[in-house]
């Protein structure tokens, strides 16, 4: 409502005053759009060449068609500063009181789950569209708890309104991995945001942690990954922990859940694992009861084709980093125009 009143005033204002009012109205609309979190574009804004500092201008020709105009679009500056976005993400990673002191692992999970819905046969799903902003995808069981990550990124989206949610979600995962000591992940922008839930993929496209090797190959094969890439991507479990109130499972995979390393593979190979005796779903624990593995994790050492790759990564972190960077970059590019292999 505030934006509409400002626009009405702008139409009636003298030319000299009108420019100032239009600028104010634009900022008002931008704030309303950010608060909704929808990114659906209720304002037609263009970031001009001088807009890198946050100055917005109305696109030429719209001043005479303010009423009944088509839905607005926000475009990037001539030289969008993705480095500044990365810095803003890094600044919110570490925090006392959340899990192990870092939002990094949950941002990696957000990027992974945003992209891991891709289906190469139909060309649907994937990171392009950022459809997890909408129900029903936001409410899929595999995405429980990811509202934490999406909400964390909202102030950054408001600060850099030109970046799409789809690019922001994936860049956040890349930045978090690198900030936690992981490899440099090749990443390129170019994703667009879906306007509504019609593009949401069906439930069931993400891995079910309670199943085994055949399920893993089915899920990853749908996206186009081979066995080596599957094991490499599974190495993301070197980060973070499971939460009983989200997935039903409980505990971290390693004793360094905020450091990206090959420790996950070392634990799989060198530790002793037994079924956890508890009222929750089947999972495995070490003799200390502090660390856990999921059935999908154990499948990597029970399967004769996965196991040699696990052994290799447990011994050679450099090779794991190289393979993970390539596979994760590929994952985030699936379904993105001009990027997917």
Least confident of 47-51, 69-73, 328-332: 47-51
Q: Which two tokens stand for residue 211?
A: 């199943």
Return the higher-pLDDT residue of 285 and 7: 285
Q: Check if 253 is active-site.
A: yes
**Predicted confidence band of residue 341 (pLDDT cuts 50, 70, 90):** low
Q: Check if 278 is active-site.
A: no
pLDDT in tens, 166-185: 999 999 999 999 999 999 99
- The per-residue pLDDT for 215 is 98
- The per-residue pLDDT for 48 is 33
pLDDT in tens, 214-260: 999 999 999 999 999 999 999 999 999 999 999 999 999 999 999 99
Catalytic residue of the set 113, 140, 162, 273:
113
What are the boundaries of each domain within the chain?
82-333
pLDDT in tens, 78-98: 899 999 999 999 999 999 989
82-333 fold: Peroxidase; domain 2 (1.10.420)
- The per-residue pLDDT for 73 is 64
Angle between helices 295-302 and 227-234 (to 10 degrees): 140
**Predicted confidence band of residue 305 (pLDDT cuts 50, 70, 90):** very high
Q: What's the Cα-to-Cα distance from 118 to each of 61, 150, 225, 293, rounded to whole Å?
A: 39, 20, 11, 26
Catalytic residue of the set 58, 112, 162, 253:
253
- The per-residue pLDDT for 340 is 62
Up-side HSE of residue 121: CA atoms within 13 Å toward CB?
A: 6
Helix (H) or strand (E) holding 242: strand 241-242
- The per-residue pLDDT for 130 is 98
Q: Which of 173, 159, 167, 165 is nearest to 138 (CA)?
A: 165
């Amino acid at each position: 409502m505030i934006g509409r009143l400002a626009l009405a005033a702008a139409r009636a204002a003298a030319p000299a005053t009108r420019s100032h009012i239009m600028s104010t109205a634009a900022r008002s609309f931008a704030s309303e759009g950010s608060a909704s979190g929808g990114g659906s574009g209720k304002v037609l804004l263009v970031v001009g060449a001088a807009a890198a500092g946050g100055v917005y201008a109305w696109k030429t020709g719209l001043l005479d068609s303010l009423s009944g105009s088509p839905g607005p679009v926000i475009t990037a500056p001539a030289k969008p500063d993705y480095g500044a976005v990365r810095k803003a993400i890094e600044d919110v990673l570490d925090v006392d009181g959340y899990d192990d002191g870092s939002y990094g692992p949950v941002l990696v999970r957000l990027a992974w789950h945003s992209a891991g819905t891709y289906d190469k046969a139909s060309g649907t799903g994937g990171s392009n569209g950022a459809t997890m902003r909408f129900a029903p995808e936001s409410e899929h069981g595999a995405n429980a708890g990811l509202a934490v990550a999406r909400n964390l990124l909202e102030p950054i989206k408001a600060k850099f309104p030109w970046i799409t949610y789809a690019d922001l979600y994936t860049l956040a995962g890349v930045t978090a991995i690198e900030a936690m000591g992981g490899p440099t992940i090749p990443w390129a922008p170019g994703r667009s945001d879906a306007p509504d839930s019609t593009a949401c993929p069906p439930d069931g496209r993400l891995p079910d942690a309670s199943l085994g090797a055949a399920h893993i190959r089915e899920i990853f094969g749908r996206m186009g990954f081979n066995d080596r890439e599957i094991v490499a991507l599974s190495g993301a479990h070197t980060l973070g922990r499971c939460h009983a109130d989200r997935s039903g499972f409980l505990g971290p995979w390693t004793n360094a859940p905020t450091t990206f390393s090959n420790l996950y593979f070392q634990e799989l190979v060198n530790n002793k694992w037994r079924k956890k005796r508890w009222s929750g779903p089947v999972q495995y624990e070490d003799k200390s009861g502090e660390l856990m593995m999921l059935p999908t994790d154990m499948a990597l050492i029970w399967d004769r084709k996965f196991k040699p790759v696990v052994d290799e990564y447990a011994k050679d972190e450099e090779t794991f980093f190289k393979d993970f960077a390539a596979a994760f970059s590929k994952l985030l590019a699936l379904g993105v125009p001009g990027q997917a292999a």
